[in-house]
């Protein structure tokens, strides 16, 4: 994974200022007191003095919380390129004015000295936390035929956390974790808001980790595109949903 670091603080300030000017989405990566990793969604909304203001973090784990001076890593996109920087939480609950009519609860992060360009992920993800639960139906593949789903195949369910054009994250009970080994191929079916028909795709398990005090498991799933049947129209539907979600979130934030 290539990395290029900008050392000049004036360059870092300018880059983050531009990101804030566009309400840029970002991922906040951090570990809790038990050294369990967490990921939360934020938006970079304002740079003032040496503090970056971001909206309240959204996470699949409702028990996740940040504390003052907690170390975090921020991953974001600035003008078409992915960047990451290490920083710390300065204030956990504060208020920031979005415009003359709207004030929101925010956190602040220390302005970092360095920012690194990364090729961390090809596709941008959106959280589905703002919707009612989006259920994901999983179906096992046929033995020796990973592109086929038998009629009598074993089926189980999970809940979507986020989605991109390249894959999705879902939560399943940890009791079912043995069915989701890394590299395992499965079929999934889910319905996205605003899309008439359920989407059915083949996925590969990329990673998994326990959350919610080990009662649930968070799965990272990659959409498979190396199939005989057409996948592109389904990915286009997902991309349309992601674009609409970004626009909806921006409109909601700017409403008085």
User: What are the sequence ranges of the domains in the chain?
Assistant: 3-120, 127-249
Note the pLDDT of residue 247.
67
Mean pLDDT of 5-19: 79
Mean pLDDT of 67-81: 88
What's the pTM value of the predicted model, to 2 decimals?
0.56
CATH architecture entry for 3-120? Roll (2.30)
Instruction: Evaluate if residue 87 carries a pLDDT over 70.
Output: yes
CATH 3.40.50.720 corresponds to the domain 127-249? no
Q: How far apart are the first and last CA of the chain?
A: 42
Mean pLDDT of 174-198: 89
Note the pLDDT of residue 6.
45
- Strands, E, within the chain: which ranges? 3-6, 24-31, 37-48, 51-55, 71-78, 81-97, 103-110, 115-118, 126-127, 135-140, 155-163, 167-173, 185-190, 199-211, 216-223
Per-residue pLDDT band at 103 (split at 50, 70, 90): confident
Residue-wise pLDDT tens digits, 25-52: 998 888 877 777 777 889 999 999 899 9
Note the pLDDT of residue 2.
45
DSSP states of 151-189: TT--EEEEEEEEE-SSEEEEEEEGGGGGG--TT-EEEEE
Instruction: Evaluate if residue 1 carries a pLDDT over 50.
Output: no
Instruction: Evaluate if residue 204 carries a pLDDT over 80.
Output: yes
């Amino acid at each position: 994974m290539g990395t290029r670091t900008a050392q000049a603080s004036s360059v870092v300030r300018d880059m983050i200022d531009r990101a804030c000017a566009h309400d840029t989405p970002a991922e906040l990566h951090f570990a809790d007191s038990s050294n369990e990793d967490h990921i939360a969604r934020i938006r970079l909304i304002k740079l003032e003095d040496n503090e970056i203001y971001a909206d309240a973090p959204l996470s699949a784990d409702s028990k996740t919380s940040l504390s003052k001076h907690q170390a975090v890593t921020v991953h974001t996109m600035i003008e078409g390129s992915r960047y990451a920087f290490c920083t710390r939480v300065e204030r956990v609950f504060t208020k920031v004015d979005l415009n003359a009519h709207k004030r929101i609860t925010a956190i602040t992060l220390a302005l970092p000295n360095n920012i690194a360009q990364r090729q961390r992920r090809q596709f941008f993800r959106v959280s589905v936390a703002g919707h009612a639960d989006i259920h994901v139906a999983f179906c096992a593949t046929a033995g020796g035929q990973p592109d086929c789903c038998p009629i009598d195949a074993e089926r189980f369910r999970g809940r979507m956390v986020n989605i991109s054009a390249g894959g999705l994250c879902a939560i399943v009970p940890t009791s079912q974790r043995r069915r989701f080994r890394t590299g395992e191929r499965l079929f999934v079916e889910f319905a996205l808001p605003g899309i008439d028909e359920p989407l059915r795709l083949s996925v590969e398990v990329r990673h998994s980790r326990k959350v919610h005090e080990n009662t649930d498991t968070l799965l990272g799933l990659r959409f498979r595109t190396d199939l005989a049947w057409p996948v592109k129209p389904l990915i286009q539907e997902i991309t349309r949903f992601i674009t609409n979600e970004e626009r909806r979130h921006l409109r909601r934030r700017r409403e008085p």
